[in-house]
Structure 1
Amino acid sequence: MTAETLSLAGKFALITGSSKENGIGAAIARSLARNGASVAIHYVSESSKSKAEGVAANITKEFGTKTTVVRGAVEEAGTAKTIVEDTLKGLDTDHIDILVNNAGGGENSALMDITPEQVQFAFGSNVFGTIYMTQAVVDMGKMPKGGRIINVSSIASKLGLEGVAVYSAAKAAQDSLTASFAGELGKSRGITVNTVAPGPVPTDTSKPFLEKPDGSPSEMQVGMQAMTRAAARLGTTVDIADAVLLLVSEKSRWITAQWISLSGGITGTM
């Protein structure tokens, strides 16, 4: 008897916000490629181009899968279409099977310090970007039956943390899109849509929140680690990527419209 696997051979995937070698997006790209998928590595600013190319080159070297690098601001509808066009061209395909909406961000600010620019950035990258990229991949990307869309959120959308209101609200809005899109795309197109919500994961982006200037653990890191149930540690990018691998596989065909906490149990009582 042949053992069943989570093979993604013949699948084409676009992972937004995947240019940082130690980031969640790059880890997801590696996990999908390791299991046979061709992947598009996405970046936004010109300064990230070499990093994105490095991620793609390392994936191809290690796993032998096809990669391409694409650039654009996901929060702009026209640019989202360009990202999809470049993905199709770069991977030499007429469709995209997997979309991971990982690009997104936000700044921590107390209520009275929140600026219009912070609001625009958080909602632009997390909400507008998810809408425009999903539209572009389903339409221009001709996502087929069995397609998978994963929105990368955060447990911050549920915790009501002080000083993280705008980012948390943007992620909560993104969470709402998941359920709505799952309903629209499920019965009509056979596409599943799910949210994964990581807890604290050490990356370049999260470092300012998880570490003090001297490199010691911040109060947030200590508090979050104390709340985990799976193990006495924070999560890793590989923890997140492996969960995404499961959700984009054919084995997860009956999982859709779900908000899945990848936090080691921090949100276990919610």
Structure 2
Amino acid sequence: TIKSALTYNTMNTYYEEKINKLLDLSINPLLSEKIAKEINPTFYNNLICCYATLKDSIHDDLDHYYRSLFNINHKDAHYSYSVIKYKQGLLIIYTNRTDTIDLKSGLMNFLDSMGFNTSNFIISLSSSHHHLNELGKAIKESIYTYASSLIDNTDFQDFDSLGLDKLLMPIRNEGWVLEYYNNFYEKISEYDAYSNTDFFNTLLDYIQYDGDLQLVAKKNFLHVNTIRYRIKKMKEILNIGESADSFHQLYVFVRLYHIYNNLLRFNDL
């Protein structure tokens, strides 16, 4: 009904505001715990977050899942949870009273018991945490995992498996990182504009195929020597030459490019 829809939307707006406050990691632990309790006073300390987005973004379907799970004060003898619509997905906060439980398994079993069809979603999990004042960190981790899943085209991933992204995503907006990224981006873009080339997309393919020149050439319908020349030229433009870590430098740059593009909607994280 219209009345119930308004109730859902009003309450969700309230919880979204709380989430935004939690995402400011400069707030002190006591305030973090207080805000977490304002979201759901029945939360336990052991927690994990899931950011779930529909593979086919149909707004009404997301609302359906949201309302089917919405029970902000639900609690049984072992767990307590909350579901909040956040940006284009559902933020599911699952907490459990047992210190030794595998929280990831507990969350997935809970979703299954609620009839939540995970096969329709990209499921992105945080690490497990054991104090409520870490809820903001767990939420960030689940969103970072989501961005990484989009880059790698995976449907299920947890923060612990992200590798280098665990470092790059939290620091992506720091001055040194931005300077590193902008230096590479501007040099390649300026060369492409001046020479009417497309070295930038060649570089994206080069990293996507783990430096396999044959695969890059096949995708672009070019001779492998053309790709070899482009990569060598890019290294010269970027002043990294054939150093031992030149591939890693290019990888970090390309990874940052994808991270920036996939975290645009979460720019305040």
Relative to the length of structure 1, the TM-score reads: 0.25
Instruction: Identify the structure with the greater helix proportion.
Output: 2
Whose radius of gyration is greater, 1 or 2? 2
